[in-house]
Structure 1
Amino acid sequence: MRPPGAVLGRRRFLALGSLGAGALGMSALGFGAAGCATASSGTQPAGAGAENGAAADLDYISPADPEVAAAEAARGWNGTVASFALAAGVATVDLGGRLVDTWTYGGRAVAPELRVRRGDRLDAAVRNDLHADTTVHWHGIRIRNDMDGAAPVTQAAIAPGTTFDYSFVVPDPGTHWYHSHSGLQADRGLFGALIVEDPDDRTGADADAVLVLDDWLDGLGTTPDAVLTALNPAISGGHGGHGGGAAPGAQPAGDLDVARQLVSAGHGDSAALGGMTQHIAYPLHLINGRPPNDPTPVVAAAGQRVRLRIVNAAAETPYRFAVAGHELTIVAADGFDVQPTVADTIVVGMAQRYDVLVTVKSGVWPIVAKVEGRPGYASTVLRTPDAVPMADADVGGAIPELGGRLVAESALRPVEAVRLDPRELDRDYRIELIQAGGRYVWGMAGTDAGRLVMKQGERVRITMKNSSTMWHPMHTHGHTFAVGAYGGLRRDTVNVLPGAELAIEFDADNPGEWMFHCHNAYHFEAGMTANLRYIR
């Protein structure tokens, strides 16, 4: 059987292939299974076993193998089918008076919210009306491998003019989301919230509101593909080895001119994230697809406890979130319950989700997601039915709570019910997160980066050392993990700060081939990705 994920896109080859050992300060440079930059360290991970040395001889489990079907059968379907239809296509959307042509599901700047219950089977027919290949990834949910939507690893991409039927049991309650996993398509409008209700929910919330945060540039004089070209011309086009970017051909000069302005506007900087935050000065920021001048309010009665489900669907922007006049009680991170923690503000990295409770006060209250480390904000309002709507509810992103008690993810602790039980490690890997030679080329270095293999039932630890000058929201497909340094906090996307070393542990309980990558969309396209691969 072929080694999984052994597809190296031409753009990534051009971006990385010219790098030598000197560019990384490593002794030997090659390409890992997902086309990421890897450097040989000569070390053998503890408990990894001799099979790591000869990848071509290993007996890999692929998405179509019976182990994947067996894991799905064991998930415990409750007999309910939740059916949806999504059509990816080109549409014109109104962003507060700005008309932009972009790619959407259903003609909206943010796709329809999908809501199911834990144990349901989700059936989604996805039709591709674009001119490029596409897929849908169901982020944060430990579903069957062949439905993960990560082409070319778990499926062939959905070709233009065709439909793919996703079907899987949903085992994980909480606030999740879905998005295209092809090129930079999710930096257009191809994403939405996926809420999995828990029949055993104990938050005590009286009402529920979903807030999807997003950075936007598509159609505002440029495109995500042009921005990638401005960052690194060698990987232009938005494919980066994953497919599904723009149509072939050179970027229009106007798109590139604007893109170069956005990437030359200086880097954001944040103490909370350890330094530089982002490369792109996005011109617009949205909540639920609406800009600050045209919000869709959250309406609730005074005294109600409202659960705000916060999803950061941005491609490159971290947000500092707060509600004017209200405390936040954090009750979940990436769908996992945490011990209730009171804060005035939180920083939400790309792809991360938080559930927070607020007890509503009478009136009109700005909800602000301020860009962390540089100018810019998204906002909407929380108001009670008795309040008079305020034309000036947009406060310019300035509310005192943003400077109040900040609770970092490192301070959160899981509730006992979601803790990962302690046990001996079977595999212990180390990788290094790198930027190559100061260029816009990102990767994972070390011998282990190209051979993250495991057997079903094993306990796996991956220690990430961030040797770059920028933070990275690291995400595992098909698995959730515990962060030992954070008291065993459970999640699927964790921020690794510059100079930091952070270890995650998980049980290998979902066989197949899975991506493991930085969820800064542009870092991912520029090489910061590897594969988790099951073997027999």
Structure 2
Amino acid sequence: MTRPVPGLVLDRRRFLRLSTLGAGAVGLGALGFGTAACSSGTSGEQAAAADLDYILPTDPEVAAAEAARPSSGATASFALAASAGAVDLGGRIVNTWTYGGAAVAPELRLSKGDRVRVSVDNGLPQETTLHWHGIRIRNDMDGAAPVTQPPIDADGGRFEYDFIAPDPGTHWYHSHSGLQADRGLFGAMIVEDPNDATGADADAVLVLDDWIDGLGTTPDAVLAALNPQISGHGHGGHGGSSAPMTHSGDEMTAAQQLVSQGHGDSVPLGGMTQHIAYPLHLVNGRPPNDPAVIEAPAGQRLRLRVINAAAETPYRFAVAGHELTVVAVDGFDVRPATADTVIVGMAQRVDMLVTVRSGAWPVVAKVEGREGYASTVLRSHDAVPMPNPDVGGRIPELDGRLLLESELRPAEAVMLDEREADRDYRIELIQAGDRYVWGMAGPDAGKLVMKPGERVRITMVNSSTMWHPMHTHGHTFAVPAYGGLRRDTVNVLPGTELAIEFDADNPGEWMFHCHNAYHFEAGMTANLRYIR
């Protein structure tokens, strides 16, 4: 079992006290862009940072915060084994990396307040970690190497994650090492709420994903095609293997073709949406020609838990013949809102109710802004199977009433209390020229610090030409511009600014990054650091 060692902790503490630049700024500097482009830090600021007393993942404050979480007294135990192998994608046999041999990992289901114990065996040829997305987890179990743990060794390493899951809702888990999650290393994590008030009779989990691995190329070859400047640098320093990546000529040719087909474009997302023309899109690990059908009795009030596990693709989701009632996002209840279709950004989750109608109905997640779709079928028990379940991704509801993220409002029970911010930061989301290099800029970008108990406000100014789904580890936030909507991942549109607010109630060091996997690998990440 991989465990932190004293030397690592001491080295990390020394690094933190000497560092004044966020990870995103460091990433840009390492690629030939001077640090002045990312921070206006002066020698005086460096001296001040050196005097800060950071709370580290192994410090007592982390254990104390965990001990204070309400517990159900029950334990949910699981075992996951990461390995390489062949997967059948509707007749296409691809070699990839998975937990358990399928294109989506097993669903983990537990109850609010349960203690979660998950052993992870790493049979991959690379180091790995596992991140629990959306859970206010203890810092040393967050799975963000090298910040919160050493990576799990390749070829036989093991680590046991052990934490309380205090937050009910639709969450997910995924590798946080390089681009491993753009293979099959992700799955749903459902934390049931014993006091659920949505009125759902049952639920169905739908994990959406864009797929590229084994279809002539790999995610790492695609990253190299997007920006040859960072090829050969392993996984960008974000927890992956430090060994240089090599790609065959055929893999690079295929990757270059996928990134040469132009970008997506969407009015709701403010313009440019994607750089990669993914060849396949999946629901629960299955392509449109081989769907995992959802079956339910007619008249049932069904809760659809939709998770966008894609690396680079936003989806417009709809169910033919059905109205959607959105009841939660990212695990937080919202005031019920009806629509025909919704957009789900990468890493976001949307829970919606449908009253099942008799018949067989296409369920479609259309790529927002360009061609492509994932689909499955909702079939009532009294309906006959559809002769061809693949309807080509075209249903009228996709052009119907679109419910925007900005129109959602939180349920009263999940709203943050109103209070003044103790710390008010401002960062800029940037692209370095016309190169595929992304980062965070401004005087605050490398010094996002806080003390336990403070209210923190971060205003994100998107000066780039693309939207960014921005995610905080270890914390959930309110979006004041959206009436205090609670989330852990929010879409920041190009040419706009958007603020988030959260309470500093989970000590340690946490990542704050864009959940476009390729933007993250290319530098758009920083750290949130607690100080005494």
TM-score range, shorter chain: over 0.9
- Mapped partners of 1:178, 1:199: distance in 2: 22
Q: Is the 8 A contact 1:71 1:144 kept in 2?
A: yes
Corresponding residue number in structure 2 for 1:34: none
Q: Is the 8 A contact 2:23 2:525 kept in 1?
A: no
Inter-CA distance 158–428: structure 2 relative to 1 (3 Å threshold)? same
Whether 1:299 aligns to 2:311 is: no
Whether 1:115 aligns to 2:129 is: no
Q: Is the 8 A contact 1:485 1:502 kept in 2?
A: yes
Whether 1:406 aligns to 2:418 is: no
Q: SS of the residue aligned with 2:198? A: coil
How far is 1:20 from its partner? 4.2
How far is 1:51 from its partner? 8.3
Of 178, 181, 185 in structure 1, the residue corresponding to residue 180 of structure 2 is: 185
Q: Is the 8 A contact 1:11 1:239 kept in 2?
A: no
- Mapped partners of 1:491, 1:165: distance in 2: 27
Of 137, 143, 149 in structure 2, the residue corresponding to residue 143 of structure 1 is: 137
Q: Deviations over 1:352-390 (max 9, x none)?
A: 000000000000000000000000000000001111101
Corresponding residue number in structure 1 for 2:6: none
Inter-CA distance 281–489: structure 2 relative to 1 (3 Å threshold)? same
How far is 1:12 from its partner? 7.2
Q: SS of the residue aligned with 1:218? A: coil
How far is 1:251 from its partner? 1.0
Inter-CA distance 171–51: structure 2 relative to 1 (3 Å threshold)? farther
Q: TM-score, normalised by structure 1?
A: 0.93
Corresponding residue number in structure 1 for 2:59: 65
Q: Is the 8 A contact 1:147 1:166 kept in 2?
A: yes
How far is 1:403 from its partner? 0.2
Corresponding residue number in structure 1 for 2:369: 373
Of 437, 442, 446 in structure 2, the residue corresponding to residue 446 of structure 1 is: 442
Corresponding residue number in structure 2 for 1:196: 191
- Mapped partners of 1:323, 1:14: distance in 2: 42
Q: Which runs of 5+ in 1 are unaligned?
A: 22-27, 30-37, 43-49
Corresponding residue number in structure 2 for 1:19: 33
Amino acid aligned to 1:110? V
Amino acid aligned to 1:230? A
Whether 1:334 aligns to 2:336 is: no
Inter-CA distance 132–286: structure 2 relative to 1 (3 Å threshold)? same
Q: SS of the residue aligned with 2:14? A: coil
How far is 1:17 from its partner? 3.7
Whether 1:255 aligns to 2:251 is: yes
How far is 1:207 from its partner? 1.0
Amino acid aligned to 1:148? D
- Mapped partners of 1:134, 1:299: distance in 2: 36
Q: Deviations over 1:249-300 (max 9, x none)?
A: 4211110000000000010000010000000000000000000000010000
The number of aligned residues is: 515
Question: What is the correspondence of 1:87-102 to structure 2 with a 5 Å cutoff?
Answer: 87-102=81-96
Share of identical aligned residues, percent?
75
Q: Is the 8 A contact 1:131 1:247 kept in 2?
A: no
Q: Deviations over 1:193-242 (max 9, x none)?
A: 00000010001101110000000000000000000000111222551111
Corresponding residue number in structure 2 for 1:235: 230
Corresponding residue number in structure 1 for 2:219: 224
Corresponding residue number in structure 2 for 1:2: 14
Q: Is the 8 A contact 1:52 1:451 kept in 2?
A: no
Q: SS of the residue aligned with 2:254? A: helix
Whether 1:389 aligns to 2:401 is: no
Corresponding residue number in structure 2 for 1:532: 528
Amino acid aligned to 1:56? A
Q: Which runs of 5+ in 2 are unaligned?
A: 1-12
CA RMSD of aligned residues (A): 1.9
Corresponding residue number in structure 2 for 1:82: 76
Q: Deviations over 1:93-114 (max 9, x none)?
A: 0000000000000111000000
383-392 or 51-60, larger mean C-alpha shift: 51-60
Whether 1:486 aligns to 2:482 is: yes
Corresponding residue number in structure 2 for 1:33: none
Q: SS of the residue aligned with 1:447? A: coil
Inter-CA distance 339–53: structure 2 relative to 1 (3 Å threshold)? farther
